[in-house]
Amino acid sequence: MSKLLTEKVALVTGAGSGIGREAALLYAKNGAHVIVSDMNEAGGLETVDKIKAVGGDARFIKADVSSPEENERLVAKTLEAYKVLDIACNNAGIGGESNPVGDMSIEGWKKVIDINLNGVFYGMHYQIPAMLTQGKGAIVNIASILGQVGFMNSSAYVAAKHGVVGLTKNAAMEYSAKGIRVNSIGPGFIKTPLLNQLDEATMNMLVSLHPIGRLGESKEVAELIVWLSSDKASFVTGSYYAIDGGYLSQ
């Protein structure tokens, strides 16, 4: 079977675990050279090892997406290594502080916005010029179901993910005619390290919110990411795809 992304160069942020790791691995399995980026160096290197174990090609570059300079360096290092940037998956994110708006700390608000929203803007700000030089590219931004609806005590996360959806639409309008497709996806609650600190009762509550009767798997989200990154989705841009076990259908 032919591979969807043979000889493409893909950059994944937050690739040290969870959805980012599975996306990086599936990119590689589909023939892409992968830049694995994360603040967690041990996790990022483990992802690289997993990719190499299945015969793929990957390199790790540590970067903090909340820093414009580190995003610029990340793209520069990618071009230095592979000369081109075909695909970017802006996945890095945190859950952040859980409090109602009136009690949310200013620091907690800023941290979530800096990573989950500003990080996506900074990423695209440097990824897009690199893609323009070759006249094509695909960007997938990881939003959330909470890019469409609210969730108690998660104002910063909800605001950031709504922002990612809007930012994606705008970038698609501005650059699709120049060969760069930009889409976002909205995972429901996925079994990732972000949920590891939750107790059994809370996990059962989250499961109950999904009509499909379970939480999602990172591998399932990765399948959508890879499809959107490939030529199979050549007429898809500016779109938001929920992958949520029916959460938003309620």
Question: Catalytic pick from 27, 82, 157, 247?
Answer: 157
In a domain, 215, yes or no: yes
pLDDT at 13: 98
Task: Please state the pTM of the whole predicted model.
Answer: 0.96
pLDDT at 151: 96
In a domain, 2, yes or no: no
In a domain, 143, yes or no: yes
In a domain, 152, yes or no: yes
CA distance 58 to 235: 28
pLDDT at 1: 52
How far apart are the two ends of the chain, measured CA to CA in Å?
38
| Domain span at 155 | 9-249
Residue 90 pLDDT > 90: yes
- How do 87-90 and 57-62 pair as beta strands? unpaired
DSSP 8-state assignment for residue 103: T
Total domains in the fold of the chain:
1
Active-site residue, 157 included: yes
CA distance 92 to 106: 21
In a domain, 96, yes or no: yes
Residues ≥6 apart with Cβ < 8 Å to 72: 126
pLDDT at 197: 79
Amino acid letter, 193 = P
pLDDT tens string 122-177: 999 999 999 999 999 999 999 999 999 999 999 999 999 999 999 999 999 999 99
Residue 193 pLDDT > 80: no
In a domain, 4, yes or no: no
Number of neighbouring beta carbons within 10 Å of residue 184:
27
**3 in helix, strand or coil?**
coil
CA distance 196 to 193: 5
243: domain CATH number is 3.40.50.720
pLDDT tens string 48-82: 999 999 999 999 999 999 999 999 999 999 999 99
Residue with tokens 């929920």: 242
**139 in helix, strand or coil?**
strand
